[in-house]
Amino acid sequence: MGGAVTKFRAGPLDAPECAELKPHWGGFVDTFVNTLHAQGAAVSITPGPSDVDNTGSFQRPAVGRLVAIGDVHGDLEKTRESFRAASLTNERDEWIGGTATCVQVGDQLDRGKDEVAILHFLERLRGEAKAAGGELIVMNGNHETLNVSGRFRYSLEQGNADFTRWKARQDIGKALRASCGLSAGICETRVGEAALAGALPPYVKPSEGDRWRALAPGAPLTMRFLAHQPVVVSVGNTLFVHGGVLPEHVTFGLDALNAEISNWMKSGKSKGMPPLSVQGKDSLVWARHYSHPAEHRCDCDLLKETLAMIPGVERVVVGHTIQHPHGITSACDGKVIRVDVGMSKGCVDAKPEALEILNNGESISKCTIDA
């Protein structure tokens, strides 16, 4: 474009001023806005759905190295540390895990101020892992389903303010794209019933409005991130679920549960109740039947019954219930491993840990930031 500086004017630019710029402008603006959202390294590729296909099988083949990371709850610093503890990222937060598979078991949202940044951080790592022959699977927990339902009782004021900043950044991106005659693209905010409605639901406070319009069913962040995340997935002989898996879940169908929750999140319907599968103490994302730190209070017989209904699965990894001060724990003869260590400053500010499973269970250990 030469050394001259072009003075942009308001409104779409006409050729020849925009002719050379237009093919590159959208990608530049998207990367710029994503960098602001991410508080760090940008997502430089056009984001797409998760590699987990919620219309297909919940089952994945075994891998040589399998890592699990527990609830991160809006704490970007601790999220970064947990990946470093597992030697999946370097000091620049770049994927160095090679062909390893990592499962983050849900609860990216609530209790912290960095929720938007965490979603973008995990999306970037997912792309880097795929490029290296590995995989990062990010799951939905009860706090993702709560937020899509418009129930924000665990959100912080700082977190709600960040969704207002997210909206402002999106608007900047939309204006920049429009300056070269481009549609809003991923900078669009008026998506879904919640964004188009004039009034907030009675259970959403005015200070939560931008959060609701970003995370309601069919809303931009839900469509980009949450709607494609599973609530149950297995890798080899290890099953992952945020809360717990019960016989009624297996009878209903684990694939069907993933599809039902995904379809609800994509629906764009902000009125009405969420599926029963994400409500109540016996749902996949709320169950605590195997999670009490005191093993005698875990229903190991129920776990044995449930695992027997899922061919090829020998253990379940869960989050949801903080195990502090013990760190990652196991119960029921190792048939359940609990990985919520309460790392977020909004929980107990514990030291991050990660679970490592090698060769389909030949070796199971935990990684810490000092390891």
| Residues catalogued as catalytic | 143
- Secondary structure (DSSP) of 318-370: E-SS--TTS-SEEETTTTEEE-----STTTT-PPPEEEEEEGGGTEEEEEETT
Determine how β-strand 65-69 pairs with β-strand 353-358.
antiparallel
Residue from 54, 68, 361 nearest 237 by CA:
361
Residue from 194, 176, 186 nearest 224 by CA:
186
Calpha distance 217→212 (Å, rounded)? 9
Phi, psi of 65 (to 5 degrees): -130, 125
CA angle 178, 268, 225 (to 5 degrees): 70
Enclosing H/E stretch for 178 = helix 157-178
Calpha distance 121→115 (Å, rounded)? 10
Contact 266, 166 (CB under 8 A): no
Contact 313, 307 (CB under 8 A): yes
Counting Cα atoms < 13 Å in the Cβ hemisphere of 49 gives 11
Calpha distance 347→256 (Å, rounded)? 32
What letters, b where the CB count within 10 A reaches 16 and e where it falls short, cover 330-362? bbbeebbbbbbbbbbbbbeebbbbbbbbeebee
Residue from 122, 146, 85, 92 nearest 356 by CA:
85
Calpha distance 19→48 (Å, rounded)? 27
